[in-house]
Amino acid sequence: MRAYDFWTKTGTAESGPYPIASLSLRPSAAATANELQMMFPSAMPIEEQLAVADRVLAGVQRWRDGIAEAATRHRTAEDELAAAREEIARLQAERDGGDAE
């Protein structure tokens, strides 16, 4: 099965405790939003469940880190653009002030 949905700021990730150890992902609080619920088979040993959870955590961490890196680059570009605009305004004011003399 392959499903696609878009995360919104109201999306949630919830988990249930062992022995059920469920993971529920709901990208939006909208009543029509899809929900993915993952659970382990009851016969799966706890160490295998832990190994799966570690792989899921690693994947989510990589996803989050990529978004954080992009956000940092975006902020840096915005900061550099604002600094350049300030410098242009300063130079224009200096030039305009120099013409008046």
With vertex at residue 23, the alpha carbon angle to CA 22 and CA 24, rounded to the nearest 5 degrees, is 120
Residue 10's pLDDT is 96
Residue 98: per-residue pLDDT:
67
What per-residue confidence (pLDDT) applies to 99? 55
Tens of pLDDT, residue by residue, the chain (101 residues): 777 889 999 999 999 999 999 999 999 999 888 999 999 999 999 999 999 999 999 999 999 999 999 999 988 888 899 999 999 999 999 999 865 44
Length of the chain: 101
How far is Cα 30 from Cα 79, in angstroms, rounded to an integer?
A: 35
pLDDT, position 101: 47
| 3-state secondary structure string across the chain | CCCCCCCCCCCEEEECCCCCCCEEEECCCCCCCCCEEECCCCCCCHHHHHHHHHHHHHHHHHHHHHHHHHHHHHHHHHHHHHHHHHHHHHHHHHHHHHHCC
pTM of the model: 0.71
